[in-house]
Amino acid sequence: MELINNIQMENFGVDSNILCTTGVSSCVAALVELQDKVFIYHIDPSCFQKSTTGSINHGHSLLIKIFDKICLTDGHASVQKTYLIGGWKNDQYKKLRDQIDSLCSNPSSVMDYKYASSCSFYSFIDSIKLNLITFNLPQKSPDGRVKKDDDDDDDPNDYIMDCTIIFGRSSDNVLVIYQYDGREHERNSDKHRSLLLGTYVINVVSHDIKAYLFDEKQSLLS
């Protein structure tokens, strides 16, 4: 069986068939379907946790950051579809999600991007088909307190929710999300079934999401 390349945090990669990325918690994964390959960029959360102003420029900057990495991979890439997945379900990430949604619905508000043709950048924005930023519940301390984004006091028993995402090109165009929950110290261990919250299968044509949930826990997409 062919091994799947795992894109680590703040790295990006491309493959003609299939890629995956793991540990998507406060991070955001950008999954891009190109004309003849797939691309994943696992984005370090520090780049969008710095802003508390809610400026629309912050969402714009994040999209430029993703677009830059696509261009570094292939300067003539033809972007077909883009999916954004991850981040915590809190006010700061909701602002970021809403900023990007606003840019997608109102392209005239997009500032000019000097380092690439505006047509290509606008096409990239238009390719965003699914924005699932705020996919994970925020980190909690052992006593159940929701931790703030700038709280560096990590505890191995902190409650963490994260995802493993598989994205590939095939007859069915695979996009599957495995969502886990558990303690911080369990994240680096093998993912046991007991930590699996649910599996989400996304139809990349209709963008419908089928959720297969475990342990009677509710979907976070509602």
Residue bearing tokens 């995956």: 20
* Amino acid 153: pLDDT: 64
Dihedral sign (CA 64, 137, 177, 19): positive
Assign 143 a pLDDT band (cuts: 50, 70, 90). Answer: confident
Residue bearing tokens 């929710």: 161
Say whether pLDDT at 19 is over 80.
yes
CB atoms inside a 10 Å sphere around CB 117: 9
User: What does the alpha-carbon distance between residue 82 and residue 202 come to, in Å, rounded to a whole number?
Assistant: 13
Q: Which residues pair with 82 in a beta bridge?
A: 32, 128
Average of pLDDT values for 136-140? Answer: 90
Assign 191 a pLDDT band (cuts: 50, 70, 90). Answer: low
Give me the phi and psi of 25, to 5 degrees please: -120, -90
> What predicted TM-score, i.e. pTM, was given to this entire model?
0.87
User: What does the alpha-carbon distance between residue 213 and residue 73 come to, in Å, rounded to a whole number?
Assistant: 36
Work out the mean pLDDT of the chain and round it to a whole number.
83
Characterise 190 by phi-psi region: left (phi > 0), alpha (psi -120 to 50), beta (else): beta
Average of pLDDT values for 8-31? Answer: 95
